[in-house]
Structure 1
Amino acid sequence: MDRLVSVEDGILAQRAADGDERAFGVLVRRHGPFLVAFATRILRSRADADDCVQEALIVAWRRLPELREPDRVRAWFSTIVARKATDRLRSRRPSTPIEDAEPLSTLPGPDESALTSSQLDALRAVLDELPAEQRTAWLLREVSGYSYDEIARELGISATAVRGRLARARATVFERMQEWR
């Protein structure tokens, strides 16, 4: 196992895709803390983030043979975590203590709730259709609030490349979400 610790991500990902559990374990230990921090920023709950990352890593293990760019396994993990976190956010039910609850007259009605749900569904569909590189950059910026430099470091690209990916992603989201404005 000690020898695997110094092996590059791409090689570990390829070995894991071939069923090497030890290689996958090294990837999990290497990137797990970042993934939990990433999910925590999205979900605002460490417990939910831990569960989300665990679910994402199970999906990643099963889908590793589909990974096209093994050297970018961290970004791929991040995309899966972001999807799981988004699913978790959407499934949350509000749990406001009764004494803090707003009067029924100020709560959104069924029409407004349905509209919001439809908007979220449309946004998810648009994000799912973005190329993985654009989607990951968009999620890191718009959901997690990362700076361009932080995204560049995380994805191993230049800040200029981040700006380009975000510009393309934002243009697509803007165009495809026009009917919801």
Structure 2
Amino acid sequence: MDSKTNLIVNYLPQNMTQDEFKSLFGSIGDIESCKLVRDKITGQSLGYGFVNYSDPNDADKAINTLNGLKLQTKTIKVSYARPSSASIRDANLYVSGLPKTMSQKEMEQLFSQYGRIITSRILLDQATGVSRGVGFIRFDKRIEAEEAIKGLNGQKPLGAAEPITVKFANNPSQ
């Protein structure tokens, strides 16, 4: 797929419908496909989507026209969808010093304010099954991971006795 015609749109209002999404971007030019991404289980909008234009000029125009547009309480972000670029590859964080009682879900809630989490896991002690206080969080984009480091590294989450350490995971393939 040519990345010059394929756009990703972030920060869409939760209640925006596929039809509204399509008509907004269709007003710029001829759309080959567009997809509002939804949670597979609940069907709820995840607040982002993809638009593929027939003509690269229309994609460029959509970025210039619609990026930064305010929709309800959100400011949408329109950019080229580049699969597996460095911006995605290096978005994996290593977190240590987590409270042993913190669940994976609670860890995700803590980090989700900074962006869209792709995967997360907490390492458990093989013998006891108790959290080792170490986890990994993979964000959708490197910039989101950077924001999470800025916001959370050295902070004490609720119920934590010590500050947590948040840094990029050394091995991006993990």
TM-score, normalised by the number of residues in structure 2: 0.29
- Which of the two has greater helix per residue? 1
- Which of the two has greater strand per residue? 2
TM-score, normalised by the number of residues in structure 1: 0.28
